[in-house]
Amino acid sequence: MKHITRREAIGATAAGLAIRASAASPNEQIGVSVIGVGGMGHGHVERVLTRGDVRIVSICDVDQSNAERAGQTVNSDRGKTPKLVEDFRTVLDDKEVDAVVVATPHHWHAPIAVRAMQAGKDVYIEKPASHVFREGRLLVEAAKKYGRIVQHGTQMRSSEVTKKADELLKEGIIGEVKMSKAWNCQRHTHRQPVADAQVPPGVNYDLWVGPAAFDGSFNPNRYNRNWNWYRAFGNGDIGGDGPHDIDLARWGLGVETHPNRVTAHGSRIDLQGEREFPDNMMVAYHYDEGKVLIYEDRGWTPYGLHGFDSGNAFYGTDGYMVFSRRGYFQVYWGREEQKGPGMAHGPTGHPEHMYNFLDCVRSRQQPIANAEVAHLSCGLVHLGEIAYRAGRVLHFDPEKEKFINDPEADKLLTKDYREPWSMPDPV
């Protein structure tokens, strides 16, 4: 993960971003707590610190070493260590906290986010916003009911590359976009099975497991950067980096609803070791308006399509556009694939996305990737996984958010929660 530096933040200011470089008085500052700082969350700590009008009130992590490391990062920048807490409920009770950044494992995203909104906090929530489909709708309903700002961590939505490509697509540079494709082809390795062990010192593993089933045992394979390969905690490839590319595929296709038909195929053909997901997957989503979105992942190749491990292709009636969240797009026209406009080495939107959220906390305007945007894109992650597990074509009612005459598939739209961590439903 690339951490943002203050020099990069200054460069962002020069590009016209809404960043307040001067420190505000304590009464004018937004009070923020970052929940989950073992990986991406630590990068968010650094991004928040580039804003003089924001104060990090607390750092929350069930792993004491993670919290202390992030606390030291804050101390080095601001000269003071924030509160270091283990239980996110302490954060929600803190009146000094206006907004939270949630960067925990996936199974905790929505349960924390909904509770935060109920406590009057705005929420920046890492992708995927939901661990199962139903959680996405509950996030939308909570944001509306409690009047909260929600930003989903699909950072490329805020990139200048995306904005320029969006202008061209809306101008019809490749005609009407009828089909889009997303791909994620990053080489993975997996751990071999290991015996259960003692919980590492300073870790509240019971709280880390939270709403997932728990028999009291600890296995190193199911913790600390490896949890995404187990359904109790993560969503595999399609829900790991996949939400970035799937979100952009839906954006490029221009659809603002759920699909009506989903087909998925996958298998294990190369990767060895523990994982509960296929190492390759193809999903096709069909929409009422006659549009198609295709997703492909290959966890065993060190190469992708058009030179990118993560990317998109938007197919129009007059040409196509290759797009990558690595900061690239290129237009091609006609049978001869004549080159049109393009951009390379563009920014990937990380600081801009956080700044958009913080600005919206102040203005109360909707951010660029609000709860509804998150649900429509993360819903594709879950519908694809359900179609793969069902092993058949699934027909979906976008309005009712239920499968048509398929109670077996409907059960997979949600999950069981370990008490006391069940989702409020309705919120």
User: Which CATH number covers residue 141?
Assistant: 3.40.50.720
10: nearest Cα among 54, 51, 70, 53? 51
Whether 47 and 165 have beta carbons less than 8 Å apart is answered as: no
Q: What is the length of the chain?
A: 427
Three-state DSSP class for 329? strand
pTM of the full structure: 0.93
Six token digits for residue 166: 């969006």
Q: Are residues 148 and 20 in the same domain?
A: yes
Q: Is residue 425 part of a domain?
A: no
Q: Tell me the HSE value of 188 on the side-chain side, using a 13 A CA sphere.
A: 27
Q: Are residues 282 and 398 in the same domain?
A: yes
Q: Is residue 164 part of a domain?
A: yes
Cα(73)–Cα(164) distance, integer angstroms = 35
Q: Are residues 386 and 366 in the same domain?
A: no
Q: Are residues 365 and 322 in the same domain?
A: no
Q: Is residue 14 part of a domain?
A: yes
Total domains in the fold of the chain: 2
Burial classification of residue 144, based on how many CB atoms lie within 10 Å of its CB (0-12 exposed, 13-18 middle, 19 or more buried): middle
**pLDDT tens, N- to C-terminus, the chain (427 residues):** 334 443 344 344 333 333 343 456 566 899 999 999 998 999 999 999 999 999 999 999 999 999 999 999 999 999 999 999 999 999 999 999 999 999 999 999 999 999 999 999 999 999 999 999 999 999 999 999 999 999 999 999 999 999 999 999 999 999 999 999 999 999 999 999 999 999 999 999 999 999 999 999 999 999 988 999 999 999 999 999 999 999 999 999 999 999 999 999 999 999 999 999 999 999 999 999 899 999 999 999 989 999 999 999 999 999 999 999 999 999 999 999 999 999 999 988 999 999 999 999 999 999 999 999 999 999 999 999 999 999 999 999 999 999 999 999 999 999 999 999 999 999 9
User: Which CATH number covers residue 325?
Assistant: 3.30.360.10
Q: Are residues 241 and 386 in the same domain?
A: yes
CA separation, residue 370 to residues 149, 151, 332 (Å)? 7, 5, 31
Q: Are residues 97 and 172 in the same domain?
A: no
Six token digits for residue 413: 């739209």
Q: Are residues 409 and 276 in the same domain?
A: yes
Burial classification of residue 294, based on how many CB atoms lie within 10 Å of its CB (0-12 exposed, 13-18 middle, 19 or more buried): middle
Segments forming the whole domain that contains residue 247: 160-189+233-347+377-413
Q: Are residues 363 and 306 in the same domain?
A: no
Cα(309)–Cα(150) distance, integer angstroms = 29
Residues 6+ apart with CB under 8 A from 185: 296, 297, 298, 299, 301, 303, 304, 305, 309, 310
Beta strands in 244-391 (DSSP E): 261-267, 280-286, 292-298, 310-316, 319-324, 328-333, 338-343
Q: Is residue 219 part of a domain?
A: no
Cα(43)–Cα(126) distance, integer angstroms = 12
Single-letter amino acid, residue 345: H
Q: Are residues 364 and 306 in the same domain?
A: no
Q: Are residues 57 and 177 in the same domain?
A: no
Cα(312)–Cα(181) distance, integer angstroms = 5
Q: Is residue 300 part of a domain?
A: yes
